[in-house]
Amino acid sequence: MNMVLRSAIGRLRFGSDQRELALLYVACLVGALLISLLLIEFNGSSWSRAVNALVDGAFQSPGRWGETLRRTAPLLVVAVGSSVATKAGIVNIGQEGQLLVGAMGGAFILTLVQPGTPIMLVLGIALGAVAGALWAGLAGVLWYWRRIPIVLSTLLLVYLASQMAAFTLTRGALLLNVVPGEPNRLLQSAAVASGSRLGIIEVFGNRFSLSVPIALVIALAFSWLLSRTTWGFRLKVLGLNSRTAQRAGVSHFRYGMSAILVSGAMAGTAGAMMLAGGESQYKFSSGFSSSVGWDGLLVSLVARNSPILAVPVAVVFAALRSGSMFLSVAGIEAVLVDVVRALLVVALFIPPAISELRRKRRAMARQTERI
């Protein structure tokens, strides 16, 4: 089979570098799938049943692809935001916290202002974006003011964010929905006012909110911004060679900060849109973000910071999530999906790393030849 593949790929007129890369991708993905299947078999279930359950859960059963799309939207928005930061050479890994803070900010308008109106919906999402941006901006300020590494601060701010969100849910004066006559066991907010909810699209029984088209528009918009504007150009210069950027007039503070703020704003927007789009019955709770931030970060890593590539990758990640719900029904541990996903991510990272290494080695060899 390998021979067939090789000749098939060989016929595509790629440069040898690209052909090598494509082969590496195929080999690594096949390897990851093999390991996954073995793992499933060793766990006493059959891989065909597992695959069937996954596909059923993600696409085939009635209403399931709507569920997959619903989960795609926030992943995509988060991923687009993180690619903006990464383009500028800034490693923001705190999307999980920024998303939670965004949802919390949104909740202050969406769940508290009654009756809801479309204006309140827009304001709520905007407040979510601002809250996410500020949360990420905190890490930016710490870096430019005191040189505290952004990787560290964004990561640690995730834990601070979840504590803060939990706190707002302990006070009736803040977000907690106090139900008279009942002890408050459920630490959650009131539901989003019905007038402030994102519209629901229904196609053949598949239901998802307006956040899906909005996310697509965001991805397209940022694809354009990054490749066709001076802002995107300068971010790229900054990310690839910061000294050249400084010399050419790209202020580290201004452009770096803009990238951090945008990435935070996108995570915040994703959070607020999840809330307004019906996630956990339109109610904000402290576990609201449920790893969407982390997954969105992974999506952008796998898509190699391309907002357009992030679209299919986000769909795959969302499908793995919605499909995993059917695994337990089929008697397979749903945790396996996480393992499979991790294997896929690792498999997708290996080829570019290897080709980069080989490129460097070849360049070195050329240099030593010259000497």
Partner 1 sequence: MVLEAGRIYGILGQNGAGKSTLMKILIGLVTLDSGEIYMDGQRVLVKSPQHAADLGIGMVHQHFSLVDALTVWENVVLGDRSNRLDAARARTIVAEIGGRYGLEIDPDSCVGSLTAGQRQRVEIIKCLRRNPRVLIFDEPTSVLTMEESEQLFAVLRQVVRDEGGTAALVSHRLEEVLQATDDVVIMRDGRIVAEMPTSGSSLDELARAMVGRDVRLHTSDAHHMRHGAGAGSDVVLRLSGVTVTSRRGGTVLDGLSLTVRAGEIVGVAGTEGNGQRVLADVLSSLCKVTTGTVEVGGVAVETGRAGAMAAAGIGVVPEDRHDSGCVLDMTVAENLMLTSLDRVSSRGALDRPAMRKSAERLISQFGVSCPSPDVPMWTLSGGNQQRVVLARELSVRPKVLVAAQPMRGLDVSAIEYMGDRLREAANAGVGVLLISSELDEILHLADRIVVIYKGAIVGEMRNEAVDMTRLGMLIGGAT
In whole angstroms, give the CA distance from residue 237 to residue 98: 26
Residues 336-365 as x/- pattern, contact with partner 1 by CB under 8 A: ---------------------------x--
Residue with tokens 């307004």: 276
Looking at beta carbons only, is 45 or 241 nearer to partner 1? 241
Angle at the Cα of 99 (from 57 to 101), degrees rounded to 5? 140
Looking at beta carbons only, is 61 or 242 nearer to partner 1? 242
Looking at beta carbons only, is 197 or 234 nearer to partner 1? 234
Shortest separation between residue 134's beta carbon and partner 1, angstroms: 24
Looking at beta carbons only, is 200 or 357 nearer to partner 1? 357
To 10 degrees, the CA torsion angle through 348, 236, 125, 103?
A: 50
Shortest separation between residue 26's beta carbon and partner 1, angstroms: 25
Looking at beta carbons only, is 198 or 309 nearer to partner 1? 309
Shortest separation between residue 252's beta carbon and partner 1, angstroms: 7
Q: Which of residues 209-248 bind partner 1 (CB under 8 A)?
A: 228-234, 236-237, 240-241, 243-248
Shortest separation between residue 234's beta carbon and partner 1, angstroms: 8
Long-range Cβ contact pairs of 224-233 (< 8 A, separation 24 or more): 226/83, 226/84, 226/87, 226/307, 231/255, 231/258, 232/87
Looking at beta carbons only, is 207 or 252 nearer to partner 1? 252
Shortest separation between residue 241's beta carbon and partner 1, angstroms: 5
Count Cα atoms within 13 angstroms, Cβ side, for 109.
25
Shortest separation between residue 328's beta carbon and partner 1, angstroms: 45
Looking at beta carbons only, is 226 or 344 nearer to partner 1? 226
Angle at the Cα of 130 (from 237 to 177), degrees rounded to 5? 150
Total number of residues binding partner 1 (CB under 8 A)?
A: 22
- Identify residue 205 by its one-letter amino acid code: G
The encoded tokens of residue 324 equal: 């995993």
Cβ neighbours around 147 below 10 Å, total: 8
Cβ neighbours around 197 below 10 Å, total: 20
Residue 114 in contact with partner 1, rule: CB under 8 A: no
Closest Cα partner for 305 from 69, 20, 89, 22? 89
Angle at the Cα of 29 (from 26 to 31), degrees rounded to 5? 105
- Pick from 18, 60, 194, 251 the residue near partner 1 by CB under 8 A: 251
Q: 141 and 151 in contact (C-beta within 8 Å)? A: no
Determine the 3-state secondary structure of 236 from DSSP: helix
Shortest separation between residue 261's beta carbon and partner 1, angstroms: 17
Shortest separation between residue 240's beta carbon and partner 1, angstroms: 5
- List interacting residues with partner 1 (CB under 8 A): 228-234, 236-237, 240-241, 243-252, 363
